[in-house]
Amino acid sequence: MRSRKIHSISSRQVQALAQTWLAESLLLEDHGWKATADVVWKVVLLAAARMCSLFAACRDLALAPCDETVRQALFDNLPKRPVTLERWLEAALCGHLPKWLFSRSRKIAIDLHLIPYHGEPKERANELYHSQPKSGTTKFHAYATACVVEAGCRYTLAATYVRGKEPMVAVLKRLLERIAVSKIAIRMLLLDRGFFASHVMEFLQKQKSPFVIPIVLRGRKSKKRASKKKGQTKKQRRAAGLRAFRNKPVGRYAFTWDVKNVSVTFHVVVAYKSYKHHKTGRRHSKRLLYAVWNVGGAPLEIREPYRKRFGIEASYRQLGQARIRTCTDDPVLRLFFVLVALVLRNVWVWLHFTYFAERGGPERTMHLERLRFRRMLNWIAQVVATELHDGSDYFSQIE
């Protein structure tokens, strides 16, 4: 009988692994005899694992410094510009990728993640991103991420801070530069509908990056049948040209889009999906339109890869499970907390790929039930609490 090697990893090893990834990319200096770099990292990991603030993490650790000392240590060590912090933590995000990931080109999803914010900007108004109302506000701190969306290797390769009214071309340029540094070949880019714009597609075509973007029919549907009747604006005529594909059968059609002195040529792929209504239980079909360039395949072969793009939404859900809560208006510190959460998520993916995946065949079979992300965070919190707490009972004073 063939012997089978059993792999195991302890909670202390997981905590040390996460702290090593972070400490190697961002070298913190000691801030006094009590707030050493090792202690500051442990407090940061505990706050991330518990989804609490630095104040709440320090309050439950008898051997840790106060939260103001930890916060000041971070302010003294973090750079002043978000782009510098992104470059520093780039090694923590994609510096430990498995060699198997480089064996062939990968499908990469790019999306925006908006975190609601109810305060005022620190210095400039463009620090905040404005969008549709959510959680009682229209102001957000926005972050764009690039994530591999293939099963078993959903690594976040790059993340960047997005300012208000910043062109999406500039955001994509930063992300593609980070992906190029990681040396992972791009098979296709699966972008969110917010990137559907002529200048974005023109930029991607110049970069020779294949893409799939859902088509957005902006503007109100014209009541006039003719698309060039007198009194109709150019925007209405452009929308009418794209809207005409909703009446065409499933297939692939060449289309040239002229807008704002930018002309781009791409294929419009018409597909459909069937779903059951959650209230009536009846089957419905919905027509889907995709802007596709340099990506072959039938409409079904375009729809299915894009459907897997929603794996990046799972990464945002896990980001929320490991993000330190804060009320600060400093965009650099907020970006630091987001990057720490993404690094912890990459550690979780690496552990599954290295220890828990079932080898055999062209792809590895993942067993996420062996170590859930929430359980890994509980391990980290337990190890830090054991090292920085004296074992006394927790209490709260009542005046």
Q: How many CA atoms lie less than 13 Å away from 200 in the CB half-sphere?
A: 23
Same domain, 272 and 131: yes
Phi, psi of 213 (to 5 degrees): -130, 130
pLDDT of residue 2: 45
The predicted structure's pLDDT at residue 366: 78
**138 and 275 in one domain?**
yes
Contact between 377 and 48 under an 8 Å Cβ cutoff? The reply is: yes
Q: How far apart are the first and last CA of the chain?
A: 69
Q: Are residues 69 and 93 in the same domain?
A: no
pLDDT exceeds 90 at position 274:
no
Count how many domains the chain has. 2
Q: Say yes or no: 124 and 247 in one domain.
A: yes
- Same domain (yes/no): 190, 168: yes
Does residue 5 surpass a pLDDT of 70? no
3-state helix, strand, coil split of the chain in percent (to 5) is 45, 20, 35
Q: Are 147 and 164 part of one and the same domain?
A: yes
**Does the pTM exceed 0.75?**
yes
Of the pLDDT bands very low, low, confident and very high (cuts 50, 70, 90), residue 187 is very high
Same domain, residue pair 256 and 379: no
DSSP symbol at 253? E
Q: Is residue 394 part of a domain?
A: no
- State pLDDT tens for residues 56-83: 999 999 889 999 999 999 999 999 999 9
Residue 399 lies in a domain: no
**Does residue 5 lie within any of the structural domains?**
no
Residue 220: what pLDDT? 63
To the nearest whole percent, how much of the chain has pLDDT over 70?
Answer: 91
Span 38-66, average pLDDT: 94
Residue 322 lies in a domain: no
50 & 165 share domain: no
> In whole numbers, what is the pLDDT of the chain averaged over residues?
88
Tokens representing residue 132 in the block: 């549709």
Token pair belonging to 187: 């098979």
Q: What is the pLDDT of residues 91-143, one digit of tens each?
A: 999 888 888 888 889 999 999 999 999 999 998 999 999 999 999 999 999 99
Q: What is the CATH number of the domain that holds 178?
A: 3.90.350
Structural domain including 17 reads: 11-86+327-388
